[in-house]
Amino acid sequence: MKFFYILLQLSSLLYLSTCVHLDCDYIDRYSKWSIPIGTVYTCKIENVLNIISPETEITSVSTNHSLGKTHDDVLAIFDYSNSHNIQYFPRGIDKFFKNIKLIDINRGHIKEIHQADLKVFPKLESLDLCANDIQVIEAGTFDFNINLKVIWLSSKIVHIESNVFTNLSSLSYLYLRLNPCIDKNAANSLTDVKALAQEAYTMCKDSTYTRLNYQLNNLESELSSRTFLRHFSQRLNNLTNEIKGSTFSNLTSFERRIKAANLKFQNEDSLVIKVSELSGDITAMSKNTQSNLDHMKIEIADVNRRIDSLKMMISTLIGDVQKMAEVNDRSVPKTTTTTKRSSFSAITDDEFIDHELIDDNDIFG
């Protein structure tokens, strides 16, 4: 009880009631990219909104309507300014604009959306909350918005609870692009939209720890609001049950995964060593092969030199034989000379070499 008393005192000290004025520029805006309802009378937000508490309320709205128009004619809320600090969905709008069909608040830093935020807009047909900081879509968020036809949720969504889009029978456009857990959209087909809704739940059905972290963050934010004491006991019990039911089994699973990862790293280290050794062997083989090739090149060059030398000796030998033949031709009688010349001319240089018709002693004495 002492603990709850301290929390009560803390919440009382931190709570600050905030009233916000909404300054509208009332315009006729064509809803081309949202729902096919033509031109709608719209409140385009003009003033900078600073909504940092879930209890902040819109308590006044500008009345500079077009001629003949009133708050009841306003069908849309529109803002694309990117200059607001809207961390929570603005409450109190329904007290002034009771017929809202289109809500378009982009780049406003909204970090959560709840059923209570939207149930006050039963006629809502199009919801565009792109480029905000929403991470979780809770079950039942759209239960009171059965007329929704278009939903744009390009944000930071990591978790979508089951049956979020189940009761939206008129939903014809679901835009879930650029989210961490899903990046798709479906349009103009109820079948495709239903398939995407189911896929979104499958893809964004994250672990218990992610939901716990989200819920704990919400508890921290509610420390400064009236809703803290109302929800604290119930959420604390839910968190306790979830922790009891999941922590140890998840830790065991983590331990197994860590061991498997460690074994994998050890195997990879062994493989790296083997590859390194093989690389060394290949390098050594490459060096030996290069050395052998260099040695063979030297030997081939030496053989080529010896072949060239042998060619020169043969050429010289042929020249000497031809000279001896001329000398013999001049020293013998003409009749004999004719016969010998005929005999020599019939023998080629190759035949001298191939058939060894000339003895070295005949040449060199």
CATH code for the domain of 75: 3.80.10
- Residue 193 pLDDT grade (very low, low, confident, very high; cuts 50, 70, 90): very high
Q: Return the top range by mean pLDDT from 127-136, 209-218, 356-365.
A: 127-136
pLDDT in the model for residue 244: 57
Is residue 312 assigned to a domain? Answer: no
Check whether 351 has a pLDDT greater than 50: no
Query: Which of 56-60, 234-238, 312-316: highest mean pLDDT?
Result: 56-60
Bridge-based pairing state of the strands 39-45 and 19-22: unpaired
Q: What are phi and psi for residue 239, nearest 5 degrees? A: -65, -40
Does residue 56 lie in a domain region?
yes
Dihedral in degrees, nearest 10, Cα atoms 57, 58, 60, 65: -170
Asked, for residue 272, whether it belongs to a domain, the answer is: no
Domain count, the chain: 1
Q: Between the ranges 59-68, 197-206, 287-296, 316-325, where is the mean pLDDT highest?
A: 59-68
Sign of the torsion angle spanned by Cα atoms 61, 67, 73, 78: negative
pLDDT tens by residue, 301-312: 777 788 888 778
Q: Is residue 199 part of a domain?
A: yes
Report how far residue 141's alpha carbon sits from residue 331's, in angstroms, rounded to the nearest whole number.
Answer: 133
Range of the domain at 188: 10-225
Which residues are paired to 308 by β-bridges?
none
What average pLDDT score do residues 121-134 get?
94
Handedness of CA 239, 240, 241, 247 (dihedral sign): positive
Per the structure block, which two tokens stand in for 134?
A: 């929403």
The SS3 of residue 42 is strand
State the pLDDT at residue 230: 52
- What is the per-residue pLDDT across 334-343, written as a single tens digit (0 to 9) for each? 554 444 444 4
Give strand pairing partners of 21: 60
Residue 55 inside a domain? The answer is yes
Residue 143 per-residue DSSP state: T
Closest CA to 174 of 187, 191, 158: 187
Predicted local distance difference test score (pLDDT) of residue 210 = 59
Instruction: Report, as an integer, the average pLDDT of 184-190.
Output: 88
The contacts of residue 365 (CB under 8 Å, 6+ apart) are none
Q: Residue type for 228, please? A: F
- Whether the per-residue pLDDT at 169 is higher than 70: the answer is yes
Q: What is the pLDDT of residue 326?
A: 77
pLDDT at 13 over 50: no
